[in-house]
Amino acid sequence: MAVRPITQIGAPVLRQRARALTHAELASPEVQALIDDLIDTMHDARGAGLAAPQVGESVRIAVIEVPADPPHPYRPAIPLTVLVNPVLTPIDDEQFAHAEGCLSVPDLRGLVPRAARVRVQAWDRHGAAIDEIVVGLTAATYQHEIDHLDGVLFVDRADPRTLATMAEFERHQMPAVIAAARA
Ligand code: NI
C-alpha cells in the first residue's frame, strides 16, 4: 500500500478512455495493490473520490468515500466504495448544478450540470455485482469519477463563467452551495 503522485491536467493519461478489466485481472495481486493505493492516495489527499487514471493507470477503477465529518460538512457521507468497470444510467432527465473541484485540476472549482438520479452497475473489488441507485450530491460524485475513466474532466462540462479559485469560491459561492445542499 502506498500513496502515489496524482496526475495533473495536461497529462495524456487523463484524456484517454481507460480499458475494462476482466475478472481474472481484477483478482491479480497487481490490481488489488492498485486499489489499495487508490484508497491510500484518496485518503492522503482528503478527496471524495479518485480514479485510476489519476495515479497514471488507464483502467476502469474508481474509489469513492465521503467521511461523515469535515472537510465536507455539507455532503452526505458515502461509505468506502470501489467501482470496477462501472456503467451509469440516468434514471430521468432531472439535472442540477453541482459545485466541483478535482485533485487533478489544482485550485479550481466550477458548477457542473449533473443528473440528479443515476443507476450504477459495476463490480466491487472482489468482482461481485453492484447495482444501485444514487441521488443528489452522491450521484454527482459518481458521475465525476466515472467521467475520469472516459478521459473527461469537470472543466469540460462546467459553465466556464462559474470557474473560480478555491478562495474566491469559498468567499462568493459557498454560502449558496451549502443552502442548496440543505434544501
Ligand atoms: Ni476528479
Between the CA of 3 and the centroid of ligand 1 the distance, in Å, is 17
Interval 140-155 mean pLDDT: 98
pTM: 0.93
* Position 178 confidence tier, pLDDT thresholds 50, 70, 90: confident
Non-local (6+) Cβ contacts of 118 within 8 A are 88, 89, 90, 91, 133, 134, 139, 142, 143
Between the CA of 103 and the centroid of ligand 1 the distance, in Å, is 6
Interval 97-121 mean pLDDT: 96
* Position 25 confidence tier, pLDDT thresholds 50, 70, 90: very high
Between the CA of 176 and the centroid of ligand 1 the distance, in Å, is 22
- What are the beta bridge partners of residue 89? 119
70 pLDDT more than 80: no
Q: Which residue has the higher pLDDT, 178 or 58?
A: 58
- What are the beta bridge partners of residue 63? 50, 82
Spatial CA neighbour of 54 closest among 152, 159, 124:
152
pLDDT (tens digit, 9 = 90+) per residue, 13-24? 999 999 999 999
Q: Phi, psi (5° rounding) for residue 11? A: -70, 125
- Catalytic residue list: 145
**How many percent of the chain have pLDDT more than 70?**
97
Between the CA of 55 and the centroid of ligand 1 the distance, in Å, is 11
pLDDT at 75: 75
Interval 31-54 mean pLDDT: 97
Report the C-alpha gap between 72 and 22 in whole angstroms. 34
CA 41 to chain centre: 13
Which residues lie near ion ligand 1 (Cβ < 5 Å)? Answer: 102
* Position 183 confidence tier, pLDDT thresholds 50, 70, 90: low
Between the CA of 30 and the centroid of ligand 1 the distance, in Å, is 23
Non-local (6+) Cβ contacts of 111 within 8 A are 97, 98, 99, 100, 158, 159, 162, 173
Three cell numbers, residue 75:
455532503
pLDDT (tens digit, 9 = 90+) per residue, 85-99? 999 999 999 999 999
Spatial CA neighbour of 53 closest among 155, 144, 157, 163:
144
